[in-house]
Amino acid sequence: MSTSMSVSVSAAASSSLPPLARRRSPPASRVPFRSLRSLPRLLSSARTLLRPAAAMATDGAAPAASSKRGLLIFEAEEDLAESLAMYTAELSEKFAAERGAFTVVVSGGSLIKALRKLAEPPYLETVDWSKWHVFWVDERVVPKDHADSNYKLAYDGLLSKVPIPAGQVYAINDALSAEGAADDYETILRQLVKNGVLAMSAATGFPKFDVMLLGMGPDGHIASLFPGHPLVNEKQKWVAHITDSPKPPPERITFTFPVINSSAYVAMVVIGAGKAGAVQKALSDKKTSDLLPVEMAVLQDGEFTWFADQEAVSMVRN
């Protein structure tokens, strides 16, 4: 298998960056992004580690040869946030030019805080926000103004600060039951596929979002896909509902693994020592039968990149 995971340590910025990316470069361990224009030149490499993709295939099916995995390690959360903003802005420019739309999936938790730099110069002025279409990888079935709402978290932390058209922000219908909200959200996605806003993956037959910006829980859960829960094995639905979430609130909707694994790009943001155990297991070459949900996130034809601080990778060897 030619797919690999690449990790490298890097430090200095290049003056040849295009205007969008010409910013102070954060100190980080980074992976080369061969499909992006300026990110490969952002930092100079000092150490590189290549790992076989076979070690990352966790669901019984190996990823496609064009799938890539990488790890970026940052000394400070501020530097992580800066690079995450640049990564997202570069993808926005790429897909807006290629498709005329940029489909972005976000999660809740600390991820939204890590995206804060997008609402600051230069991105606030240079990103073409009119092309953005925003979705949630999971949502709690609560009113949109509820403290547990991922929509409220994203609105307060980012969406209220950037000029994305309101009709291109796809919140759940919180007046419906969990099952009804999941079915309704999948119906919206299917219509957007018909309209050409949302791409379909030729490799999987599921929708192909341009980028998913995700976080991970200390137990290794992603979206509302929890360790040991039957939903991790869902293979048909695009959006599923859950009424017995082990983490409150119990009623939620969530994208399924076939949708997550059909993405073009995934950024997995992990910050803090509380995530170290799950990160260590996910990045280990030694796979066990008790897979964490994050280990089941294996893209079929895309690029999966970890954005981590040093505490989150403190248990990872090499």
Nearest to 146 by CA among 138, 155, 137: 155
Question: DSSP labels for 64-114?
Answer: PTT-EEEEEEESSHHHHHHHHHHHHHHHHHHHHHHHS-EEEEE-STTHHHH
Q: What's the confidence (pLDDT) of residue 44?
A: 29
**Do residues 183 and 151 touch, judged by C-beta distance below 8 A?**
no
Each residue of 29-69: pLDDT tens digit? 443 333 344 444 333 222 223 343 433 444 434 445 457 89
pLDDT at 286: 85
Query: What's the pLDDT score for residue 176?
Result: 98
Domain ranges of the chain: 66-288+296-309
pLDDT beneath 50: ranges in the chain: 1-4, 8-27, 29-63, 65
pLDDT at 288: 84
Any idea which fold 66-288+296-309 has?
A: Rossmann fold (3.40.50)
What are φ and ψ of residue 30, in 5° steps?
A: -140, 165
pTM of structure: 0.85
Which token pair is 80? Answer: 């992580």
- What pLDDT is stored for residue 202 in this prediction? 93
DSSP string covering 171-235: ---TTS-HHHHHHHHHHHHHHHHHTTSSEE-TTTSSEE-SEEEEE--TTS-BTTB-TT-GGGG--
